Amino acid sequence: MTQKKGIAILGSTGSIGTQALEVIAAYPDFFDLQVITAGKNADLLIEQALKFQPNTVVISDEAQYQKVKTALSKEDIHVYAGDEALCQVVESNDVHTVLTALVGYAGLKPTLRAIYAKKTIALANKETLVVAGELVTRLARENGVNIYPVDSEHSAIFQCLVGEFHNKIEKIYLTASGGPFRGWTEEQLKTVKKEQALKHPNWSMGAKITIDSATLMNKGLEVIEAKWLFNLKPEEIDVIVHPQSIVHSLVQFQDGSMKAQMGLPDMKLPIQFALTFPDRFQTDFPRFNFMDYPQLTFEKPDRAVFKNLDLAFKAMEMGGTAACILNAANEVSVEAFLKDQIQFLDIAEINEKTMLGLNFVPNPAYEDYVESDLQARAFAQSLVKK
Ligand code: NAD
Ligand code: MG
């Protein structure tokens, strides 16, 4: 029998993490769950550990170490806490693939450590590529590490490219649902509440990415993510709004031919493909029925109202730490919006002011990203307080 694939899930208690556990549990002869980790949700982490019996668990919040340790004291499971532990567990010899399903800048360091340890990366944590895509992809190349996308749009592009890796891409089109406020005016958006922004029409996801979808920042982050994953120039990436979320993205080759990947919106499929590539495993996921979708529609994104999309394109063109600064500002502004400290439209405004207000480093080293992230957070936070 071939050896099972050892998997570490960073952020197992989140939306992607819990769905990844379902995927892994469905193929016990193929996967061997080695590591699961959570930020603060000790209760769910304990429940998952008891059910799935990984080798190791990590709770980032050190204050909850004792609780997790005590709850798992009768099990044959190692328990660790803190950010450094998160970096160490990905280096274990028994881990083959690291699924980065934690949210935000916190994903950068453990992802880099996994790359240095030559682990395959299944990347959900798009912020890592937004913040430091140049560094991450260079180190991946140098260490012979593959990064397989989990984000549905990037998985779609990747699936379209299988068998075509030698062919030049002329352009890719990332599809966007448009979020809950598609078609709304600036006037209407002034007073929206977080409860409205948290209701995504087609996907059920963590709070941060759901707000990012409502502001179109998610698509902006995905544009930058695509640039690094597929080695594209800014003018080779476009965004098209497709409210039904059936066409998950498209590639146009230099002969003009276009390939799209389609299916019902369900993150389990891209998660599974990233973990089983180059194979496809049989599933019982619901199948697409054309008669349920007699019309698939496409429209332009409203870049004047949803300013984050252009900010992301601008950051991508600036290069260096510009996208790191934009990401940090956005993490601060989204959190402030979720705490009712600012209005919906303030998110893009704080992001823009931070991006334009700070000097960026054109050719950053790792330390420059860390410094830029800290500076941008402080700057954005000062704008929240005004
Ligand atoms: P989520 O908020 O549901 O889950 C985040 C997970 O990370 C949780 O397990 C949490 O405990 C952990 N975590 C959060 N902050 C942490 C920290 N500072 N240190 C360590 N662990 C921490 O988020 P999600 O929706 O599952 O998204 C995860 C990532 O995947 C994000 O980068 C998101 O953009 C990306 N993504 C998500 C979806 C989706 O459908 N949810 C789709 C595409 C991409
Ligand atoms: Mg996506």
**Smallest-distance ligand from the CA of 219:** 2
CA of 207 to the centre of ligand 1 (A): 9
Q: How far apart are CA 354 and CA 341, in angstroms?
A: 17
pLDDT at 10: 98
CA of 148 to the centre of ligand 2 (A): 14
pLDDT at 203: 84
Tokens 């990233």, residue located: 274
Q: Assess whether the C-beta atom of 89 lies below 6 angstroms from ligand 1.
A: no
Provide, rounded to the nearest whole percent, the portion of the chain with pLDDT above 90: 98
Q: What are phi and psi of 251, to 5 degrees?
A: -120, 135
DSSP label at residue 291: G
Instruction: Kindly report whether the peptide bond that precedes residue 278 is cis, defined as omega within 30 degrees of 0.
Output: yes
Tokens 């570490």, residue located: 8
Instruction: Kindly report whether the peptide bond that precedes residue 234 is cis, defined as omega within 30 degrees of 0.
Output: no
Q: For a pocket test of ligand 1, which of 10, 13, 15 has the largest count of ligand atoms closer than 8 A to its C-beta?
A: 15
**Smallest-distance ligand from the CA of 205:** 1
- Domains of the chain and any CATH numbers: 5-149 (3.40.50.720), 154-379 (1.10.1740.10)
Residue nearest to atom 42 of ligand 1 (CA): 151
Q: What are phi and psi of 173, to 5 degrees?
A: -115, 115
> Around Cβ 373, how many Cβ atoms within 10 Å?
21
Burial category of 57 from C-beta neighbours within 10 Å (exposed 0-12, middle 13-18, buried 19 and up) = buried
Which is the closest atom of ligand 1 to the Cα of 86? 20
Fill in the amino acid letter for 252: Q
Q: What are phi and psi of 253, to 5 degrees?
A: -90, 175
- Where the chain has pLDDT below 50, the residues are none
CA of 104 to the centre of ligand 1 (A): 7
User: Across 4-103, where does the E strand assignment appear?
Assistant: 5-10, 31-38, 56-59, 78-81, 97-100
pLDDT at 204: 86
Burial category of 67 from C-beta neighbours within 10 Å (exposed 0-12, middle 13-18, buried 19 and up) = middle
pLDDT at 159: 98
pLDDT at 209: 96
pLDDT at 1: 52
